Structures are given as structure tokens and as C-alpha cells.
């Protein structure tokens, strides 16, 4: 594990974007696993800036998003389809057919999970998986449980997860109760995992995830088993680390 702390948001964003664009510069056909939420917004902004400066092209890149809400129309401003359009896809030259996001409105959600896993299998190993971290230790929408599912699946979101995401919606009642998420097994198969965590409210859970016992009660703790884990923390999130 390579853990880095940053004393400014700008430096963290630049470092995260540099890892992503550096990979694409050396492997123009890179397969990226992408995350959403507040954490990676600034990183995507720096990636877009690098593209606009002509430093990187996404024409041969393939991307797979971690998750999507169930039942939220793609055009809804809080869907992850809309998020990716707003923060990344509309600003770069990635062909849309190479950008994959689960369909949370599929008529058969189980079949959609199988379809998504088949696309991942066809693409081969993810070269870099970008992750944030939930307050309860979830990665993607893999919630704490007695067992974790390897492949894509439908998950019922825990109340604390919905409450954490309620800031993006008019009210808690508007937050979807289910999502499709990439499985932990798929995440851990990535060649490299880039975990980005910000804020004092995440300090205890990121410390537990990276130094505590490996347990499905904290899905992110399984990242300790990964051979190429890079962790980017701001000083607040990293306050419990030396």
C-alpha cells in the first residue's frame, strides 16, 4: 500500500488526475473503473484540464462505472449517468459506446447485472479502479454484510448510506432505496486501485479500513489484500495516520 497525504485539495486532485492520465499516456487502451460522488469531482476536473491541454486522449479508453441507482431516470440530475456527463464525458473525446454505466431502469435487473459482468469480462482486467469510501466502509455500493458478492448485483442501500447521499436530493425520501453495483470481487481484480478519501468525518473509517481487521463488516478493509493499492488522503481524513 502506498499512502499519501496532502495539505491542499488542489494537490490531491492534481495527484489523482496525474495517476489516471499517466496510465493512459502509457497505455492508450486502458480500462478504467470510475467512481462518482463528491470525492472525485476535482480529480475529474483536472483530468479534463489535461485533455484540453492536449496531454491525453481517451479515444481508445474503455470505462466502467461502479454503480447506478435503481429507478432513477438517466436524465435525472442525480443519476450517475448525469453525473458522468456533467463532470467528465461531455468534456473529453471518449466514444460513448466505450463508456459503460449500469442501467438502473432495466426491465430485468438481474439480467442487467449479468450483462454488465459480461461486458467487464470481455474488456479484460480493469487497469485502474478509482474508489471513494462510504462512512460505513462501503466501496461502490457494497454495504457491510455477513458476506459480500463478487459480481454485479442489486443492493438495498443502508439507511446511513441514504442519509449521507440525501444532501444531493430534495429530501431523504427522494433518495433511491436500491442500486446496481459492481461486486467486490471485480473491484479487487483491478491491476491498480486508487482510493481517495477526504474530510475529518472519514478519518476513523479510513483508518479502520486500512489498519483494522479484514472483515465483510467493513468492505473497504478487503483493500488491504490488494497488491497495488494507492491511497490519497487530505490531512483531515489522514489525521490518524503518522
Q: Is the dihedral of CA 66, 71, 75, 76 positive or negative?
A: negative
Q: Please list the helix, strand and coil fractions of the chain in percent, rounded to the nearest 5, in that order.
A: 40, 20, 40
Active site residues: 67, 136, 138, 143
Directed axis angle between helix 41-52 and helix 80-87, to 10°? 40
Directed axis angle between helix 9-26 and helix 41-52, to 10°? 50
Q: Please give the angle made by the CA atoms of 225, 158 and 202, to the nearest 5 degrees.
A: 55
Write the CA distances from 138 to 9, 131, 132, 143, integer angstroms: 23, 10, 9, 5
Amino acid at each position: 500500500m502506498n499512502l499519501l497525504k496532502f495539505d491542499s485539495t488542489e494537490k490531491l486532485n492534481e495527484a489523482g488526475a496525474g495517476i489516471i492520465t499517466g496510465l493512459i499516456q502509457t497505455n492508450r487502451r486502458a480500462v478504467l473503473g470510475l467512481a462518482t460522488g463528491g470525492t472525485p469531482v476535482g480529480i475529474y476536473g483536472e483530468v479534463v484540464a489535461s485533455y484540453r491541454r492536449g496531454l491525453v486522449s481517451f479515444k481508445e479508453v474503455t470505462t466502467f462505472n461502479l454503480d447506478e441507482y435503481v429507478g432513477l431516470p438517466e436524465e435525472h440530475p442525480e443519476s450517475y449517468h448525469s453525473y458522468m456527463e456533467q463532470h467528465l464525458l461531455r468534456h473529453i473525446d471518449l466514444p460513448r459506446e466505450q463508456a459503460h454505466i449500469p442501467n438502473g431502469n432495466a426491465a430485468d435487473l438481474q439480467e442487467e447485472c449479468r450483462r454488465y459482468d459480461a461486458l467487464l469480462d470481455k474488456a479484460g482486467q480493469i487497469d485502474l479502479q478509482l474508489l471513494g469510501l462510504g462512512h460505513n466502509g462501503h466501496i461502490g455500493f457494497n454495504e457491510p454484510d455477513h458476506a459480500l458478492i463478487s459480481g454485479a448485483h442489486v443492493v438495498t442501500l443502508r439507511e446511513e448510506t441514504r442519509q449521507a447521499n440525501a444532501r444531493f436530493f430534495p429530501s431523504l425520501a427522494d433518495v433511491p432505496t436500491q442500486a446496481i453495483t459492481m461486486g467486490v470481487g471485480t473491484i479487487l481484480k483491478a491491476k491498480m486501485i486508487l482510493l481517495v478519501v477526504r474530510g475529518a468525518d472519514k478519518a476513523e473509517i479510513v483508518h479502520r479500513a486500512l489498519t483494522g481487521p479484514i472483515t465483510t463488516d467493513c468492505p473497504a478493509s478487503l483493500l488491504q489484500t490488494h497488491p497495488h493499492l494507492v491511497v490519497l488522503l487530505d490531512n483531515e481524513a489522514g489525521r490518524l495516520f503518522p
